[in-house]
């Protein structure tokens, strides 16, 4: 079986939904499972719903209506017959959203987040399912929450691989086309969980692993994996072949084309991964597989914006020892602050980190009792794989260097624009 994953950009409007049908007719769709993300920026819009539920109840209904209106516009263009059964299903989904919000008693923000944000994928796959049926492409809509089982860690759930594999192998039959959701699963109590932002790629890998899939194809709005983000670099090179190891390195450092968790399940079973353009489906794109090499080796640039550069030093000028670092990292974990670079000296310790949930100020107050803390906000982390002096200078041009770290293959620098 082949696994196809269509991201939010590939289903963001009616024209792109039509394009999914075109891609399937070009590539073939028998014995295939499609995983789709929420449409466009729906996840962001549903995050506003969650925020308003807790912080701004006056705007709650308006934020729900904005999500409904966006999708209804797409549906009306794809299904002009207002008696089509998709309308009944669509409105029932929003009844489910309102029903949950009206009866929920949990004050846990992350729990509510998972229950509400997961509706984005439910809506998108429902639209895709009915539209493909209209195109004559028979398919089965599958609720992924009955298959991918996780613990109850909201917003970054851990997969129960044994139970998930059993569920998928029992329910997914060969020689059929399935439509299901990325990014979401459910815990043992049946509550929705999410696998982390951009987790639909990971969902594709989970299905591929469980089904011993022939391949996974991620359909994106780029030609494949480029050596740099075209938003920040004017000249880019398509990487036609990448090894699993290289792809894991790029994903670890933050390459946005591949989700970091995606590659390990595929590598274990040597399932090839293709990253291809949904606008140009006949082009080969990028293939990730065992034994591939970058040929010729070119510098690969990865940029992470809106980072924090935090430096700790002891108040009594004593050494920063292993126990100090262990205490700091324990708190980083508890406060969901992701560390991307570490650098230490005898009396100081610096990290470049992401404050995804805006909790650094809380953490700073705790650690300032023991350490002197200085920090720079809104810095940029540049990682260059297979760096050269020329590539380093290209990044540093007209920027202030705050931190530099080098190993055999990789250069990382933190800069202020």
Is residue 256 predicted with pLDDT exceeding 80? no
Which domain CATH number covers 412?
3.30.2130.10
Same structural domain, 214 and 309: no
Do 310 and 214 sit in the same domain of this protein?
Answer: no
48 pLDDT higher than 80: yes
Asked whether residue 90 is assigned to any structural domain, the reply reads yes
The rounded distance, in Å, linking the Cα atoms of 350 and 221 is 37
Q: Which two three-digit tokens encode residue 69? A: 């209106």
Helix, coil or strand: residue 275: strand
Determine contact, residues 187/152, Cβ cutoff 8 Å.
Answer: yes
Which residue in 343, 382, 356, 383 sits closest to 249, CA to CA?
383
* Tens-digit pLDDT profile for residues 116-170: 999 999 999 999 999 999 999 999 999 999 999 999 999 999 999 999 999 999 9
- Any domain includes 174: yes
The whole-angstrom separation of Cα 50 and Cα 354 is 22
Say whether both 166 and 46 belong to one domain.
yes
pLDDT at residue number 296: 64
pLDDT over 70 percentage in the chain = 99
Say whether 79 sits in a helix, a strand or coil.
coil
- Residue closest to 274 by CA, chosen among 346, 206, 204, 335: 204
Give yes or no for residue 44 having a pLDDT over 70. Answer: yes
Of 221, 239, 264, at which residue does a domain stop? 221
pLDDT of residue 102: 97
177 and 54 within one domain: yes
Residue 7 has pLDDT above 90, yes or no: yes
Q: Say what the pLDDT of residue 398 is.
A: 85
| pLDDT value of residue 322 | 79
pLDDT value at position 288? Answer: 94
Both 64 and 161 in a single domain? yes
Asked if residues 417 and 399 have their Cβ atoms less than 8 Å apart, the reply is: yes
Average pLDDT for residues 249-261, to the nearest whole number?
80
208 and 332, same domain (yes or no): no
Domain boundary among 221, 236, 257: 221
Residue 281 lies in a domain: no
> Phi and psi dihedrals of 16, rounded to 5?
-75, -30
Specify the long-range contacts of residues 42-49, CB closer than 8 Å, at least 24 apart. 42/8, 42/67, 42/70, 42/71, 42/120, 42/123, 42/124, 43/8, 43/117, 43/120, 43/197, 45/70, 46/116, 46/117, 46/119, 46/120, 47/113, 47/117, 49/97, 49/116
Q: What is the dihedral of CA 232, 233, 237, 240, to 10 degrees?
A: -10
Residue 24 has pLDDT above 70, yes or no: yes
Whether residues 207 and 327 share a domain: the answer is: no
Tell whether 67 and 176 lie within a shared domain: yes
69 and 209 together in one domain:
yes
What pLDDT, in 10s, does the model give residues 365-416? Answer: 999 988 899 999 999 999 999 999 999 999 998 899 999 999 988 999 999 9
The pLDDT, as a whole number, for residue 249 is 87
Question: Do residues 354 and 338 lie in contact, with contact meaning Cβ atoms separated by under 8 Å?
Answer: yes
Distances (CA, A) of 292 to 199, 245, 270, 273: 25, 9, 12, 12
∠ Cα 273 133 281 (to 5°): 30
* CB proximity list for 366: less than 8 A, separation 6 or greater: 331
Residue 294 lies in a domain: no
Nearest to 307 by CA among 356, 241, 238: 356
Q: What is the pLDDT of residue 137?
A: 97
Q: What is the pLDDT of residue 255?
A: 78
Q: Is residue 292 part of a domain?
A: no
What pLDDT was estimated at residue 31? 94
Please report which residue ranges of 231-355 form alpha helices under DSSP H: 244-253, 263-269, 322-334
| Maximum pairwise Cα distance, the chain | 75
Within 8 A by CB and 6+ apart from 338, the residues are 332, 353, 354, 356
Q: Is the pLDDT of residue 187 over 90?
A: yes
What is the phi/psi pair of residue 309, to 5°? -105, 115
Q: Are residues 17 and 127 in the same domain?
A: yes
Tens digit of each residue's pLDDT (9 = 90 or more) over 268-326: 999 999 999 999 999 999 999 988 776 568 999 999 999 999 999 887 777 777 788 88
Query: What pLDDT does residue 295 have?
Result: 59
Least confident of 112-126, 256-270, 274-288, 326-340: 256-270
**DSSP assignment of 128-193, as one string?**
HHHHHHHTT---EE--GGGT-BB-S-TTSPPB-HHHHHHHHHHHPPTTSEEEEESSEEE-TTS-EE
Q: Copy the structure tokens of residue 145.
A: 């929450």
| Structural domain count, the chain | 2
Q: What CA–CA distance (Å, rounded) separates 247 from 273? A: 10
- CATH code for the domain in which residue 155 is found: 3.40.1160.10
Can you give the pLDDT at residue 323?
A: 81
Confidence at residue 370, expressed as pLDDT on a 0 to 100 scale:
86
CA angle 185, 38, 175 (to 5 degrees): 65
Cβ atoms of residues 77 and 12 within 8 Å? no
In this structure, the answer to whether residues 203 and 314 fall within a common structural domain is no
Q: Which residues pair with 194 in a beta bridge?
A: 184
Tell me the pairing of strands 2-6 and 215-220: parallel
Mean pLDDT of the chain: 93
Q: What are phi and psi of 89, to 5 degrees?
A: -65, -40
370 belongs to a structural domain: yes
* pLDDT over 90 at 1, yes or no: yes
Alpha-carbon distances of 155 from 29, 359, 379, rounded to whole Å: 32, 16, 26
Give the end of a domain, one of 221, 241, 264.
221
Q: Are residues 95 and 197 in the same domain?
A: yes
Residue 230 lies in a domain: no
pLDDT of residue 101: 98
H-run or E-run covering 209: helix 200-211
Residue 110 lies in a domain: yes
What domain range is 25 assigned to?
Answer: 2-221
């Amino acid at each position: 079986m082949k696994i196809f994953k269509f991201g939010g950009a590939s289903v963001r409007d009616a024209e792109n939904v039509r394009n999914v049908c075109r891609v399937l007719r070009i590539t073939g769709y028998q014995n295939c499972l499609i995983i789709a993300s929420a449409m466009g920026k729906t996840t962001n819009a549903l995050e506003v719903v969650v925020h308003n539920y807790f912080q701004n109840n006056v705007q709650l209904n308006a934020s729900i209506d904005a999500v409904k209106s966006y999708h209804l516009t797409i549906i009306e263009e794809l299904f002009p017959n207002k008696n089509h059964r998709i309308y009944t299903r669509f409105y029932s989904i929003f009844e489910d959203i309102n029903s949950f919000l009206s009866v929920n008693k949990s004050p846990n923000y992350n729990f509510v987040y998972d229950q509400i944000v997961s509706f984005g994928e439910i809506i998108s796959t429902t639209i895709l399912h009915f539209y493909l049926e209209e195109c004559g492409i028979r398919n089965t809509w599958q609720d992924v929450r009955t298959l991918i089982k996780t613990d109850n860690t909201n917003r970054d759930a851990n997969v129960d691989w044994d139970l998930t594999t059993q569920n998928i192998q029992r329910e997914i039959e060969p020689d059929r086309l399935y439509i299901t959701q990325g990014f979401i699963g459910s815990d043992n109590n049946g509550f929705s969980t999410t696998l982390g932002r951009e987790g639909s790629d990971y969902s594709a890998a989970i299905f591929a692993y469980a089904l011993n899939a022939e391949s996974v194809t991620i359909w994106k709005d780029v030609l494949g994996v480029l050596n740099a983000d075209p938003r920040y670099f004017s000249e880019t090179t398509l990487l036609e072949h990448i090894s699993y190891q290289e792809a894991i390195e790029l994903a670890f450092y933050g390459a946005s084309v591949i989700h970091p968790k995606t590659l390990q399940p595929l590598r274990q079973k040597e399932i090839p991964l293709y990253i291809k353009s949904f606008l140009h489906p006949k082009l080969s794109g990028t293939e990730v597989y065992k034994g591939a090499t970058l040929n010729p080796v070119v510098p690969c640039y990865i940029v992470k914006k809106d980072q924090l550069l935090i430096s700790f030093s002891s108040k009594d000028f004593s050494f920063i020892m292993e126990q100090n670092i262990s205490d700091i990292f324990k708190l980083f974990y508890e406060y969901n602050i992701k560390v991307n670079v570490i650098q230490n000296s005898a009396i100081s310790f610096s990290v470049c980190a992401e404050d995804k949930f805006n909790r650094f100020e809380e953490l700073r107050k705790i650690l300032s009792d023991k350490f002197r803390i200085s920090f720079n906000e809104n810095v940029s982390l540049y990682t260059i794989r297979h760096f050269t002096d020329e590539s380093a200078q290209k990044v540093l041009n007209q920027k202030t260097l705050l931190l530099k770290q080098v190993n055999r293959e990789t250069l990382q620098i933190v800069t202020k624009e």
